[in-house]
Amino acid sequence: MSTASPHLQGSQSVATGPKSHPRLEIRNIHRYFDGRAVVDDVSLQIQAGQVTCLLGPSGCGKSTTLRMIAGVEMQDSGEIYVDGKLICDTMFRVPPERREIGLMFQDFALFPHLSVADNVAFGLKGSKDEKRLRVEELLQKVSLTRFIDDYPHQLSGGEQQRVALARALAPRPRIMLMDEPFSGLDNRLRDGIRDETLTLLKEEDTAVLLVTHEPEEAMRMADEIALMRGGKIVQQGAPYNVYTRPSDKASVAFFSDINVLKSQVNGALADTPFGQFLAPGIADRTDVDIVFRPQHVRIDFDRAGKGPLPTATDGVPARAVVKRARYLGHESLVEFQMDYDGSVLKVTVPRVFLPEVGRVMWLTVPRNRCFVFPA
């Protein structure tokens, strides 16, 4: 069983020798609007070739953080370093165009009057031949060579997005900042373009900071997730760690629906209708939330008024009645009304499972899938 608190440190250090610096480092950045800390002491390190997703709900300060790194917004305190060199503090500031940072936003439009080739070549320096070579290389990588002389309006939304990516990467930026870059695309296109983008970013060895409010996008794209809330990074680490070892109830809830049992600690144990849960390190008489995801609840059929026998790993079964069942395509969602207090618990099953309303069943909660947090 997991309990509250582990503040994960992530897997960011890729040692390449004593002098290696992160490609991008921001230290203790603050930004205030109307006296309110919109970005509140944010620090991050990103290595070359690493994708970090800044993930959080709307208004938590993600875009403001990105804008400060890009240099279009000034922080009130804190420093930004690229390859160990200071590029911005409150006294000194390298202008945005000299930061070697590529930008890609949802509405980062192509120049309509320029061909695909000229769009991609826009930020490039060097001879005509050198530019042409780089344009061809990138268009080949995004599989758009055949559109090289076309104009943006002749391309689909997804194709335009890939040209925008090629354009952003053409000058070989050391860092790529992406703000919800795929949110304008329809669902079916999105997965393919995300995967292609990831492959290309890795090939170019760029350090990427991608802002998104979609957990699924972050899980799919990120080497590391920085979970942001109320201007602060509340947890940081590999997607697996952030998902399976969340630091608090809100972090669990950000990734999926949750079920919550209320209890109070007594002798490092919390009593519930599902049996006792370990609550190590939490003081007696502390109110706690026992949190678990719908996909982790176990369902058993009623056998002559009884459920399965209690076990150490799954605790005690609790009697429930099916209130509603829905098939969602990739899983079924069943809502159960619990006998013990009439509350409703959600359970998902990765197949077609549509028991009739009113049917009696028994639920158990595997202890290794639960989190106990002070309420």
Ligand X SMILES: Nc1ncnc2c1ncn2[C@@H]1O[C@H](COP(=O)(O)OP(=O)(O)OP(=O)(O)O)[C@@H](O)[C@H]1O
Tell me which residues touch ligand X (CB under 6 A).
33, 38, 56, 58-64, 213
- Which CB sits closer to ligand X, 33 or 111? 33
Angle value at C-alpha 133, between 210 and 184, nearest 5 degrees: 30
- Which CB sits closer to ligand X, 70 or 288? 70
CA dihedral 26, 32, 36, 37 (to 10 degrees): 10
- Which CB sits closer to ligand X, 70 or 370? 70
Give long-range contacts, CB 8 A cutoff, 24+ apart: 213-219. Answer: 213/55, 213/56, 213/57, 213/58, 213/62, 213/180, 214/55, 214/183, 215/55, 215/254, 215/255, 215/256, 217/53, 217/182, 218/53, 218/55, 219/243, 219/255
Distance, in Å, from the CA atom of 225 to the CA atom of 243, rounded to the nearest integer, reads: 10
Find tokens 């994960």 and name the residue.
8
SS3 253: helix
Cβ of residue 216: shortest distance to ligand X, in angstroms? 15
Distance, in Å, from the CA atom of 63 to the CA atom of 180, rounded to the nearest integer, reads: 9
- Which CB sits closer to ligand X, 55 or 270? 55
Widest CA span in the chain: 83
- Which CB sits closer to ligand X, 105 or 371? 105
Cβ of residue 257: shortest distance to ligand X, in angstroms? 21
The half-sphere exposure of 289 on its side-chain side, counting CA atoms within 13 A, is 16
SS3 31: strand
- Which CB sits closer to ligand X, 105 or 147? 105
Cβ of residue 247: shortest distance to ligand X, in angstroms? 19
Cβ of residue 62: shortest distance to ligand X, in angstroms? 4
Cβ of residue 180: shortest distance to ligand X, in angstroms? 7
Distance, in Å, from the CA atom of 69 to the CA atom of 176, rounded to the nearest integer, reads: 10
Cβ of residue 61: shortest distance to ligand X, in angstroms? 4
- Which CB sits closer to ligand X, 72 or 109? 72
Cβ of residue 373: shortest distance to ligand X, in angstroms? 24
Strand 51-55 relative to strand 224-229, pairing: parallel
